[in-house]
Amino acid sequence: MMKPSAVIDLLARPLGVLRLSLTARCNLACRYCCPESIEPPGLLSTRDQLRLIQAACQLGAHTLRLTGGEPLLTDRLWPLLDQLSLARQEVAHPFSRLKDVAITTNGSLLNDEKARRLRDMGVDRITISLDAVDGASIARMAGLRTGPEAGKALIQRVLAGIDAARAAGFNPARGRLKLNAVIQRGQNDDQLIPLARFARTQGLPLRLIEYMDVGNRNGWCRDQVMPASEMIQLLHSNWPLQSLGRQPGGTSGQWIYEDGEGSVATIASITEPFCSDCNRLRITADGQAFTCLFASEGLDLRPWLREDISDSVLAEVMTGLWSRRSDRFSEERGLEQPANHHAEMAYLGG
Protein backbone atom coordinates (compact mmCIF):
# COMPACT_ATOMS: atom_id res chain seq x y z
CA MET A 1 0.00 0.00 0.00
CA MET A 2 1.37 3.41 -0.95
CA LYS A 3 1.80 5.89 1.84
CA PRO A 4 -0.49 8.94 1.71
CA SER A 5 0.87 12.15 0.26
CA ALA A 6 1.42 14.42 3.25
CA VAL A 7 -0.02 17.82 2.39
CA ILE A 8 1.43 20.69 4.45
CA ASP A 9 0.25 24.24 5.01
CA LEU A 10 2.15 27.53 4.80
CA LEU A 11 3.61 26.92 8.27
CA ALA A 12 4.77 23.39 7.36
CA ARG A 13 1.99 21.72 9.38
CA PRO A 14 0.77 18.40 7.95
CA LEU A 15 -2.85 17.34 7.87
CA GLY A 16 -3.29 14.65 10.51
CA VAL A 17 -6.76 14.80 12.06
CA LEU A 18 -10.19 15.13 10.46
CA ARG A 19 -12.99 16.22 12.77
CA LEU A 20 -16.26 15.46 11.02
CA SER A 21 -19.44 16.88 12.55
CA LEU A 22 -22.57 14.79 12.03
CA THR A 23 -25.08 17.25 13.46
CA ALA A 24 -25.25 20.76 14.90
CA ARG A 25 -28.06 19.72 17.28
CA CYS A 26 -27.68 18.54 20.86
CA ASN A 27 -29.99 17.31 23.60
CA LEU A 28 -28.21 19.65 26.04
CA ALA A 29 -27.64 23.40 25.90
CA CYS A 30 -24.22 23.88 27.46
CA ARG A 31 -23.52 27.56 28.05
CA TYR A 32 -20.06 27.55 26.41
CA CYS A 33 -21.30 25.74 23.29
CA CYS A 34 -24.85 27.04 22.64
CA PRO A 35 -25.96 24.39 20.10
CA GLU A 36 -28.53 24.88 17.37
CA SER A 37 -32.07 23.56 17.83
CA ILE A 38 -32.37 22.76 14.13
CA GLU A 39 -30.01 21.34 11.54
CA PRO A 40 -28.37 23.57 8.93
CA PRO A 41 -29.76 23.02 5.43
CA GLY A 42 -27.97 20.76 2.97
CA LEU A 43 -26.66 18.06 5.29
CA LEU A 44 -24.05 15.75 3.83
CA SER A 45 -25.15 12.27 2.79
CA THR A 46 -23.29 9.16 3.93
CA ARG A 47 -21.73 9.00 0.47
CA ASP A 48 -20.53 12.60 0.80
CA GLN A 49 -19.06 11.92 4.22
CA LEU A 50 -17.21 8.85 2.99
CA ARG A 51 -15.75 10.74 0.03
CA LEU A 52 -14.47 13.48 2.32
CA ILE A 53 -12.94 11.02 4.76
CA GLN A 54 -11.27 9.18 1.87
CA ALA A 55 -9.81 12.40 0.47
CA ALA A 56 -8.50 13.39 3.91
CA CYS A 57 -6.86 9.97 4.33
CA GLN A 58 -5.19 10.31 0.94
CA LEU A 59 -3.78 13.66 2.07
CA GLY A 60 -2.31 12.27 5.28
CA ALA A 61 -5.10 12.18 7.88
CA HIS A 62 -4.57 9.30 10.30
CA THR A 63 -7.26 10.13 12.86
CA LEU A 64 -11.01 10.61 12.43
CA ARG A 65 -13.07 12.14 15.22
CA LEU A 66 -16.85 12.11 14.83
CA THR A 67 -18.48 15.04 16.59
CA GLY A 68 -21.60 17.19 16.83
CA GLY A 69 -23.60 18.70 18.43
CA GLU A 70 -24.33 15.32 19.89
CA PRO A 71 -23.45 12.58 17.37
CA LEU A 72 -25.55 9.96 19.17
CA LEU A 73 -28.59 12.13 18.52
CA THR A 74 -28.59 11.37 14.79
CA ASP A 75 -29.24 8.08 13.02
CA ARG A 76 -26.80 9.26 10.34
CA LEU A 77 -23.99 7.94 12.53
CA TRP A 78 -24.68 4.24 12.01
CA PRO A 79 -24.60 3.85 8.21
CA LEU A 80 -21.40 5.90 8.14
CA LEU A 81 -19.72 3.66 10.71
CA ASP A 82 -20.96 0.52 8.97
CA GLN A 83 -19.34 1.40 5.65
CA LEU A 84 -16.26 2.89 7.27
CA SER A 85 -15.67 -0.27 9.29
CA LEU A 86 -15.85 -2.53 6.26
CA ALA A 87 -13.48 -0.41 4.20
CA ARG A 88 -10.90 -0.10 7.02
CA GLN A 89 -10.42 -3.88 6.79
CA GLU A 90 -9.28 -3.62 3.16
CA VAL A 91 -5.51 -3.19 3.09
CA ALA A 92 -5.55 -1.24 -0.18
CA HIS A 93 -8.32 1.14 0.87
CA PRO A 94 -7.41 4.65 2.06
CA PHE A 95 -9.54 4.07 5.18
CA SER A 96 -7.06 1.43 6.33
CA ARG A 97 -4.68 4.32 7.02
CA LEU A 98 -6.89 5.45 9.89
CA LYS A 99 -5.08 4.54 13.08
CA ASP A 100 -7.83 5.95 15.26
CA VAL A 101 -11.58 6.49 14.90
CA ALA A 102 -13.06 8.32 17.87
CA ILE A 103 -16.36 9.83 18.91
CA THR A 104 -17.09 12.69 21.32
CA THR A 105 -20.40 12.56 23.18
CA ASN A 106 -22.05 13.98 26.28
CA GLY A 107 -22.76 10.39 27.27
CA SER A 108 -26.39 10.92 28.22
CA LEU A 109 -27.68 8.88 25.26
CA LEU A 110 -25.04 6.16 25.50
CA ASN A 111 -26.43 2.79 26.58
CA ASP A 112 -25.32 -0.84 26.41
CA GLU A 113 -26.72 -1.40 22.92
CA LYS A 114 -25.17 1.74 21.43
CA ALA A 115 -21.83 1.17 23.13
CA ARG A 116 -21.64 -2.37 21.71
CA ARG A 117 -22.57 -1.11 18.24
CA LEU A 118 -19.85 1.53 18.40
CA ARG A 119 -17.28 -1.07 19.41
CA ASP A 120 -18.45 -3.61 16.81
CA MET A 121 -18.33 -0.95 14.09
CA GLY A 122 -14.70 -0.14 14.75
CA VAL A 123 -14.80 2.95 16.95
CA ASP A 124 -11.51 2.95 18.86
CA ARG A 125 -12.13 5.66 21.45
CA ILE A 126 -14.98 7.44 23.21
CA THR A 127 -14.61 10.79 24.93
CA ILE A 128 -17.45 11.75 27.26
CA SER A 129 -18.05 15.36 28.28
CA LEU A 130 -18.97 16.03 31.92
CA ASP A 131 -18.48 19.49 33.41
CA ALA A 132 -19.59 18.84 37.01
CA VAL A 133 -20.56 16.08 39.40
CA ASP A 134 -22.98 18.16 41.45
CA GLY A 135 -26.64 18.35 40.41
CA ALA A 136 -26.97 22.13 40.62
CA SER A 137 -23.66 22.75 38.85
CA ILE A 138 -24.28 20.36 35.99
CA ALA A 139 -27.80 21.73 35.52
CA ARG A 140 -26.34 25.23 35.23
CA MET A 141 -23.56 24.19 32.84
CA ALA A 142 -25.80 22.00 30.66
CA GLY A 143 -28.59 24.60 30.43
CA LEU A 144 -31.16 22.48 32.27
CA ARG A 145 -33.82 24.92 33.42
CA THR A 146 -35.50 22.50 35.80
CA GLY A 147 -32.64 22.68 38.28
CA PRO A 148 -30.63 20.35 40.53
CA GLU A 149 -32.91 17.32 40.28
CA ALA A 150 -32.60 17.35 36.49
CA GLY A 151 -28.85 17.74 36.95
CA LYS A 152 -28.70 14.70 39.22
CA ALA A 153 -30.69 12.68 36.67
CA LEU A 154 -28.29 13.77 33.92
CA ILE A 155 -25.29 12.67 35.96
CA GLN A 156 -26.89 9.26 36.49
CA ARG A 157 -27.42 8.87 32.73
CA VAL A 158 -23.81 9.83 32.05
CA LEU A 159 -22.60 7.37 34.69
CA ALA A 160 -24.67 4.66 33.01
CA GLY A 161 -23.10 5.65 29.69
CA ILE A 162 -19.60 5.35 31.16
CA ASP A 163 -20.45 1.90 32.53
CA ALA A 164 -21.87 0.84 29.15
CA ALA A 165 -18.74 1.99 27.32
CA ARG A 166 -16.48 0.17 29.75
CA ALA A 167 -18.57 -3.01 29.46
CA ALA A 168 -18.38 -2.84 25.67
CA GLY A 169 -14.59 -2.93 25.79
CA PHE A 170 -13.60 0.74 25.81
CA ASN A 171 -10.82 0.40 28.37
CA PRO A 172 -9.82 3.71 30.00
CA ALA A 173 -6.50 2.20 31.10
CA ARG A 174 -5.60 1.95 27.39
CA GLY A 175 -6.88 5.44 26.59
CA ARG A 176 -10.06 4.12 24.95
CA LEU A 177 -12.39 6.02 27.28
CA LYS A 178 -11.74 9.56 28.50
CA LEU A 179 -13.55 12.36 30.28
CA ASN A 180 -13.64 15.99 29.07
CA ALA A 181 -14.52 18.95 31.28
CA VAL A 182 -14.66 22.63 30.34
CA ILE A 183 -13.78 24.72 33.40
CA GLN A 184 -15.29 28.22 33.49
CA ARG A 185 -14.32 30.53 36.34
CA GLY A 186 -17.32 31.58 38.41
CA GLN A 187 -19.49 28.85 36.94
CA ASN A 188 -17.99 25.43 37.67
CA ASP A 189 -14.44 26.02 38.89
CA ASP A 190 -15.58 24.70 42.28
CA GLN A 191 -16.10 21.36 40.52
CA LEU A 192 -12.44 20.96 39.53
CA ILE A 193 -11.42 18.91 42.58
CA PRO A 194 -14.67 16.86 42.68
CA LEU A 195 -14.29 16.07 38.96
CA ALA A 196 -10.69 15.00 39.45
CA ARG A 197 -11.66 12.86 42.45
CA PHE A 198 -14.46 11.27 40.42
CA ALA A 199 -12.14 10.54 37.48
CA ARG A 200 -9.53 9.03 39.78
CA THR A 201 -12.15 6.82 41.43
CA GLN A 202 -13.47 5.74 38.05
CA GLY A 203 -10.02 5.17 36.59
CA LEU A 204 -10.78 7.66 33.81
CA PRO A 205 -8.21 9.95 32.18
CA LEU A 206 -9.50 13.50 32.68
CA ARG A 207 -8.95 16.33 30.18
CA LEU A 208 -9.50 19.84 31.54
CA ILE A 209 -10.34 22.44 28.90
CA GLU A 210 -9.97 26.19 29.19
CA TYR A 211 -13.14 28.17 28.42
CA MET A 212 -12.67 29.29 24.80
CA ASP A 213 -13.86 32.22 22.71
CA VAL A 214 -15.49 30.08 20.02
CA GLY A 215 -18.69 31.51 18.59
CA ASN A 216 -20.58 34.62 19.62
CA ARG A 217 -23.46 33.37 21.76
CA ASN A 218 -21.59 32.26 24.85
CA GLY A 219 -20.70 35.78 26.06
CA TRP A 220 -17.04 34.85 26.36
CA CYS A 221 -15.04 36.95 28.78
CA ARG A 222 -11.35 36.42 29.49
CA ASP A 223 -11.99 36.91 33.22
CA GLN A 224 -13.92 33.62 33.12
CA VAL A 225 -10.92 31.71 31.80
CA MET A 226 -9.25 29.57 34.44
CA PRO A 227 -5.70 29.02 33.17
CA ALA A 228 -4.56 25.44 32.83
CA SER A 229 -1.55 26.21 35.03
CA GLU A 230 -3.89 27.23 37.84
CA MET A 231 -5.93 24.06 37.41
CA ILE A 232 -2.80 21.93 37.64
CA GLN A 233 -1.58 23.84 40.68
CA LEU A 234 -4.84 23.15 42.51
CA LEU A 235 -4.79 19.49 41.59
CA HIS A 236 -1.13 19.20 42.55
CA SER A 237 -1.89 20.55 46.02
CA ASN A 238 -4.27 17.63 46.52
CA TRP A 239 -2.50 14.90 44.57
CA PRO A 240 1.08 15.55 43.43
CA LEU A 241 1.49 15.45 39.65
CA GLN A 242 4.34 14.78 37.28
CA SER A 243 4.43 16.43 33.85
CA LEU A 244 4.83 14.34 30.70
CA GLY A 245 4.68 17.34 28.33
CA ARG A 246 2.65 17.58 25.14
CA GLN A 247 3.01 15.23 22.18
CA PRO A 248 3.74 16.84 18.76
CA GLY A 249 0.43 17.56 17.06
CA GLY A 250 -1.45 16.95 20.29
CA THR A 251 -3.80 19.42 21.93
CA SER A 252 -3.17 18.57 25.56
CA GLY A 253 -0.40 18.77 28.11
CA GLN A 254 -0.17 15.42 29.90
CA TRP A 255 0.28 14.75 33.61
CA ILE A 256 0.29 11.63 35.77
CA TYR A 257 -0.49 11.39 39.46
CA GLU A 258 2.57 10.42 41.45
CA ASP A 259 0.52 7.96 43.49
CA GLY A 260 -0.20 6.01 40.30
CA GLU A 261 -3.93 6.73 40.38
CA GLY A 262 -4.40 7.81 36.78
CA SER A 263 -3.69 10.85 34.66
CA VAL A 264 -4.96 14.30 33.79
CA ALA A 265 -4.46 16.53 30.76
CA THR A 266 -5.05 20.19 30.02
CA ILE A 267 -6.14 21.85 26.79
CA ALA A 268 -4.96 25.43 27.09
CA SER A 269 -5.97 27.14 23.85
CA ILE A 270 -6.13 30.53 25.56
CA THR A 271 -3.06 30.65 27.80
CA GLU A 272 -0.71 28.12 26.13
CA PRO A 273 -1.56 28.04 22.40
CA PHE A 274 -0.44 25.08 20.32
CA CYS A 275 -1.00 26.57 16.86
CA SER A 276 2.57 25.79 15.83
CA ASP A 277 1.81 22.12 15.16
CA CYS A 278 -1.98 22.07 14.87
CA ASN A 279 -2.94 19.41 12.32
CA ARG A 280 -6.75 19.50 12.42
CA LEU A 281 -9.26 20.00 9.64
CA ARG A 282 -12.91 20.44 10.61
CA ILE A 283 -15.83 19.69 8.32
CA THR A 284 -19.32 20.62 9.44
CA ALA A 285 -22.48 18.58 9.01
CA ASP A 286 -23.36 20.65 5.93
CA GLY A 287 -19.95 20.35 4.28
CA GLN A 288 -18.12 23.54 5.29
CA ALA A 289 -14.39 22.98 5.79
CA PHE A 290 -12.70 25.04 8.53
CA THR A 291 -8.95 25.05 9.03
CA CYS A 292 -9.15 26.67 12.48
CA LEU A 293 -11.54 26.30 15.41
CA PHE A 294 -11.64 30.09 15.72
CA ALA A 295 -12.34 30.82 12.04
CA SER A 296 -15.34 32.87 10.95
CA GLU A 297 -15.87 31.26 7.54
CA GLY A 298 -15.23 27.91 5.92
CA LEU A 299 -15.02 26.57 2.38
CA ASP A 300 -18.21 24.94 1.08
CA LEU A 301 -17.13 21.55 -0.27
CA ARG A 302 -20.56 20.51 -1.56
CA PRO A 303 -19.98 21.73 -5.15
CA TRP A 304 -17.14 19.21 -5.40
CA LEU A 305 -19.25 16.38 -3.99
CA ARG A 306 -21.50 16.15 -7.04
CA GLU A 307 -21.49 12.77 -8.77
CA ASP A 308 -19.91 14.26 -11.89
CA ILE A 309 -16.90 15.49 -9.91
CA SER A 310 -14.14 12.90 -9.51
CA ASP A 311 -12.48 11.96 -6.22
CA SER A 312 -9.17 13.29 -7.54
CA VAL A 313 -10.68 16.74 -8.13
CA LEU A 314 -12.14 16.73 -4.62
CA ALA A 315 -8.69 15.82 -3.25
CA GLU A 316 -7.12 18.67 -5.24
CA VAL A 317 -9.57 21.17 -3.76
CA MET A 318 -8.86 19.96 -0.23
CA THR A 319 -5.12 20.04 -0.94
CA GLY A 320 -5.43 23.64 -2.07
CA LEU A 321 -7.41 24.56 1.03
CA TRP A 322 -4.85 23.07 3.38
CA SER A 323 -1.75 24.25 1.50
CA ARG A 324 -2.99 27.88 1.73
CA ARG A 325 -3.63 27.58 5.46
CA SER A 326 -1.81 29.98 7.78
CA ASP A 327 -4.22 30.07 10.76
CA ARG A 328 -2.75 30.67 14.19
CA PHE A 329 -5.53 32.58 15.90
CA SER A 330 -4.70 31.55 19.46
CA GLU A 331 -1.11 32.74 19.11
CA GLU A 332 -2.25 36.02 17.56
CA ARG A 333 -4.91 36.57 20.20
CA GLY A 334 -2.27 37.99 22.52
CA LEU A 335 -0.71 40.17 19.83
CA GLU A 336 -3.70 41.98 18.38
CA GLN A 337 -7.42 42.49 18.79
CA PRO A 338 -9.15 39.24 17.76
CA ALA A 339 -11.93 39.17 15.19
CA ASN A 340 -15.40 39.82 16.52
CA HIS A 341 -17.07 36.95 14.72
CA HIS A 342 -16.40 33.22 14.93
CA ALA A 343 -18.44 30.25 13.80
CA GLU A 344 -20.32 28.59 16.65
CA MET A 345 -18.81 25.69 18.59
CA ALA A 346 -21.65 23.22 18.00
CA TYR A 347 -21.66 23.99 14.27
CA LEU A 348 -17.90 23.44 13.99
CA GLY A 349 -17.96 20.22 15.99
CA GLY A 350 -15.64 21.50 18.71
What is the reported pLDDT for 5? 67
184-213: burial string, b at 16+ Cβ within 10 Å, e else: bbebbbebbeebbebbbebebbbbbbbbbb
Q: Are 107 and 132 in contact (CB under 8 A)?
A: no
The DSSP annotation for 319-340 comes to HHHHHT----HHHHTTTSPPPS
Q: Are 329 and 212 in contact (CB under 8 A)?
A: no
Q: Are 41 and 78 in contact (CB under 8 A)?
A: no
CATH number at residue 22: 3.20.20.70
CA-atom Rg of the chain in angstroms: 19
Q: Which domain holds residue 318?
A: 17-348
282-316: burial string, b at 16+ Cβ within 10 Å, e else: bbbbbbbbbbbbbbeebbebeebbeeeeeeeebbe
Q: Are 339 and 296 in contact (CB under 8 A)?
A: yes
What is the reported pLDDT for 200? 98
Structural domain contains residue 2: no
The DSSP annotation for 174-225 comes to GTSEEEEEEEBTTTTGGGHHHHHHHHHHHT--EEEEE----SSSS---GGGB
How many whole angstroms separate alpha carbon 141 and alpha carbon 87? 39
What is the reported pLDDT for 198? 98
Inter-CA distances, 275 with 30, 97, 99, 102, 231, Å: 26, 25, 23, 22, 21
What is the reported pLDDT for 6? 81
Burial of 337 (0-12, 13-18, 19+ CB in 10 A): exposed
Structural domain contains residue 8: no
Structural domain contains residue 168: yes
Q: Residues, the chain, total?
A: 350
Inter-CA distances, 170 with 24, 99, 200, Å: 26, 16, 17
Average pLDDT along the chain, 350 residues, taken 10 residues at a time:
73 98 94 84 97 98 96 97 96 96 98 98 98 96 92 97 98 97 96 98 97 83 95 98 95 96 96 95 98 93 97 98 95 64 82
DSSP, res 43: P
The DSSP annotation for 52-92 comes to HHHHHHHTT--EEEEESS-GGG-TTHHHHHHHHHHHHT-TT
Structurally, how many domains does the chain consist of?
Answer: 1
Structural domain contains residue 181: yes
Structural domain contains residue 3: no
**Residue 127: closest CA among 296, 291, 23, 265:** 265
Structural domain contains residue 6: no
What is the reported pLDDT for 217? 77
Structural domain contains residue 227: yes
In sequence order, what are the beta bridge partners of 65?
A: 19, 102
What is the reported pLDDT for 215? 77
Q: Residues with Cβ < 8 Å from 77, sequence gap 6 or more?
A: 22, 66, 71, 103
How many whole angstroms separate alpha carbon 339 and alpha carbon 200? 39
SS3 content of the chain, % helix, strand, coil (to 5): 35, 20, 45
- How wide is the angle at C-alpha 54 spanned by C-alphas 51 and 57, nearest 5°? 150
